[in-house]
Amino acid sequence: MHQLTHQFNSTAKYLHWISALVILWASISGLYIAFFELDSNIKSHILRFNVSLTTVFIPLFCWRIYHRLKYGVPAPHPAMSILETKLAHIGHTLLYILVSLVLVSGVLMMGHDVNVFGLLTIPQLLQQQHSIHFFETLHLYACRLLAALVLCHLAALIKHEMMGKRILKRMM
Ligand code: HEM
Ligand code: HEM
């Protein structure tokens, strides 16, 4: 169902901004750890925190997808061409797909039980080493692709804003 207003509703806005914070933090800190030297103690603290944070994020992201499918998106910004609207739709769909892939591969690649902030434990789901390795590789590549797509998302937004198309307001 498409809404006739040009604004996302407040639930969609909250879900978008919480998701953005979690994904930006997990991507920036994860890539920093992967590519730069860091004290191994700090590194393992950040990794453990990120695993808990992103596991807690899974039900929230499921809610976001449910909300998106049930309530749709607002009518396109009047200044957007049909091509731009289509490209934005493809880009946003890819973002949803990649985040889902990153979350599923993250959980499946764990070679031990996941302790979520000391509150609950999710058992190791796969036992075979080659399956774990497959999902680990998938996670690493999907994360890098997601980070690149998020950069495109931000670049497109900045370009539209600079051309006077107030897209950001739709999500504020
Ligand atoms: C919002 C979702 C997530 C994002 C954006 C994310 C992002 C990242 C990034 C950028 C890396 C570094 C990749 C690289 O080396 O190039 C990473 C590694 C890792 N992620 Fe995720 N992740 C997410 C979800 C998860 C989940 C749900 C789990 C497990 C429950 C998980 C477990 C891990 C682990 C254990 C590593 C370290 C892998 C290694 O060094 O071999 N991640 N993640
Ligand atoms: C500071 C960073 C971010 C800003 C300023 C921002 C801004 C926006 C804005 C203004 C929209 C509405 C576009 C429209 O009018 O159609 C939007 C939509 C969207 N954003 Fe972001 N975003 C940010 C980060 C992220 C991140 C990290 C993700 C990660 C997946 C993301 C995923 C999405 C998706 C999937 C939509 C489409 C929503 C839908 O149609 O259901 N955003 N964003």
CB of 31 sitting under 6 A from ligand 1:
yes
SS3 39: coil
CA dihedral 152, 154, 155, 159 (to 10 degrees): 140
- 30-48 burial by CB neighbour count: b if 16+ within 10 A, else e? beebeeeeeeeeebeebee
Residue ranges of domains in the chain, CATH in brackets: 10-171 (1.20.950)
Amino acid at 140: L
User: What pLDDT is stored for residue 6 in this prediction?
Assistant: 84
Amino acid at 60: L
Which of ligand 1's atoms lies nearest the C-alpha of 57? 1
149 alpha carbon, closest ligand: 2
Predicted model pTM: 0.94
CB of 22 sitting under 6 A from ligand 1:
yes
CA distance 40 to 122: 25
Q: How does pLDDT run along the chain (172 residues), one tens digit per residue? A: 444 468 999 999 999 999 999 999 999 999 999 999 999 999 999 999 999 999 999 999 999 999 999 999 999 999 999 999 999 999 999 999 999 999 999 999 999 999 999 999 999 999 999 999 999 999 999 999 999 999 999 999 999 999 999 999 999 9
74 alpha carbon, closest ligand: 2
Q: Which residues line ligand 2 (CB under 6 A)?
A: 16, 19-20, 23-24, 68, 73, 77, 88, 92, 95-96, 99, 150, 153-154, 157, 167-168, 170-171
Contact 110, 125 (CB under 8 A): yes
Contact 42, 109 (CB under 8 A): no
* Protein residue with its CA nearest to atom 43 in ligand 2: 171
| DSSP assignment of 65-134 | HHHHHHH--BPPPTTS-HHHHHHHHHHHHHHHHHHHHHHHHHHHT-SS-EEETTTEEEPP----HHHHHH
| Count of CB atoms situated within 10 Å of the CB of 88 | 19
CB of 103 sitting under 6 A from ligand 1:
yes
Task: Give, in order, the Cα–Cα distances in Å from 86 to each of 16, 77, 93, 112.
Answer: 20, 12, 11, 42
Q: How far is the CA of 170 from the centre of ligand 2 (A)?
A: 10
Contact 30, 51 (CB under 8 A): no
Q: How far is the CA of 27 from the centre of ligand 2 (A)?
A: 15
